[in-house]
């Protein structure tokens, strides 16, 4: 089966905190992740990342470089090809929306104490966004 194409955004504030959302739906309901979701027909992955951030957090962003692409396999032969981009906030007010149960800024210590989406911890570490000891 062909993986579902998805995109997200990694947003870091001036204090080094990462914007995270608590997933409100499967896969991985209840886990924390960067804002993101399915790419719609006719969208680029970057456009999808910006749209998903707005829907899940109320924030408008400018999308930057792609940080990583990961394929995550889930039970039941479901697979997602996820493209995550760096992003910068250009407007809006932070509030959880769409399929996010919560949205908040998290430090590396915060991230170490919550359940994270599959593989996210490694990608954040490799990208230098959390310490090696994370």
Q: What do you get for the CA distance between the two ends of the chain, in Å?
A: 34
Q: What is the CATH number of the domain that holds 33?
A: 3.90.79.10
The answer to whether residue 71 sits within a structural domain is yes
Residue 43 is assigned to a structural domain of this protein: yes
Tell whether 47 is covered by a domain.
yes
Instruction: For residue 131, count CB atoms less than 10 angstroms from its CB and return exposed for 0-12, middle for 13-18, buried for 19 or more.
Output: exposed
> Can you tell me which residue has the tokens 């979701």?
37
pTM of the model: 0.93
Domain of 91 in residue numbering reads as 4-126
Q: Helices in 1-134 by DSSP H: which ranges?
A: 45-57, 108-112, 120-126
Residue 94 lies in a domain: yes
Note whether residue 122 is domain-resident.
yes
Mean pLDDT over each residue of the chain, to the nearest integer: 94
**Does the pLDDT at position 99 exceed 80?**
yes
Q: Which residue has the higher pLDDT, 1 or 77?
A: 77
In a domain, 132, yes or no: no
pLDDT at 56 exceeding the cut of 90: yes
Q: Indicate whether 134 belongs to any domain.
A: no
What token pair was written down for 82?
Answer: 């996820």
pLDDT, one tens digit per residue, over 5-54 is: 999 999 999 999 999 999 998 889 999 999 999 999 999 999 999 999 99
Per the domain annotation, does 120 fall within a domain? yes
The total of structural domains in the chain comes to 1
pLDDT band at 134 (very low <50, low <70, confident <90, very high): low
């Amino acid at each position: 089966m062909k993986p579902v194409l998805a995109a997200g955004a990694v947003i870091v504030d001036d204090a080094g905190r990462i914007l995270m959302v608590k997933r409100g739906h499967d896969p991985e309901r209840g886990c924390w992740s960067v804002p993101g979701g399915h790419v719609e027909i006719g969208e680029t992955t970057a456009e999808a990342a910006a749209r998903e951030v707005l829907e899940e957090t109320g924030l408008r962003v400018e999308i930057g470089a792609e940080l990583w692409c990961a394929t995550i396999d889930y039970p039941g032969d479901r697979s997602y090809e996820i493209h995550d981009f760096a992003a910068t906030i250009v407007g809006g007010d932070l509030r959880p929306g769409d399929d996010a149960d919560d949205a908040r800024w998290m430090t590396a210590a915060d991230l170490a104490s919550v359940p994270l989406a599959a593989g996210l911890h490694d990608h954040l570490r490799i990208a230098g966004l959390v310490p090696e000891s994370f």
